[in-house]
Amino acid sequence: MSVLPIVIWPDDRLSQVCTPVGEEDFEQLVRDMFDTMYGAGGRGLAAPQIGVMRRLFVMDAGWKQGDPTPEAFLDPVITVRESRTRVEEEGCLSLPGLMVPVERPVAITLAWRDARGDMHMRDFDGFEARCIQHEIDHLDGRVTPDHLGPEDRAAMLAGYVTP
């Protein structure tokens, strides 16, 4: 088991766009990312959150309710976003203790490769769709406060102290 250190905002790596995974073998990194995510009590973890600037994230949306569904997503692409949206508060392992209201589509279609290189395409909705969009934001160099307007973002971050 390898629990890796989590990159904490305002580390510049959280603002960088990640490069594609390509054909490299990331199976050990995926295992380490799951260990790190579970150890931190999260449901998703993107590679830049551990300092790896590649388009990769892991997610297990159901493990806290006793229904583990661990999945790894390499080079994910959202191909469809439902027009219906919903605002919900989101937390982030890289911004501990900060909850941010974020508006997102309630359903998406995602294409990706798994850790073995197999291609997938599937529809997601509810919490899974929200979690995927949150993790893809990390791959695109965005954190939750980036969804707020400039004044709201500045006000929220002014009172935020990194633990």
Q: Which position among 71, 88, 135, 151 bears the catalytic label?
A: 135
Q: What angle do CA 68, 74, 78 make, to 5 degrees?
A: 90
The tokens describing 135, both together, are 């993790």
The SS3 assignment for 34 reads helix
Q: Residue 135 catalytic?
A: yes
Burial tier of 83 (Cβ tally within 10 Å: 0-12, 13-18, 19+): exposed
Q: How far apart are CA 64 and CA 123, in angstroms?
A: 22
- How is 93-136 classified by DSSP, letter by letter? TTSTT--EEEEEESEEEEEEE-TT--EEEEEEEHHHHHHHHHHH
H helices of 3-125, in order, are 27-40
Catalytic residues: 135
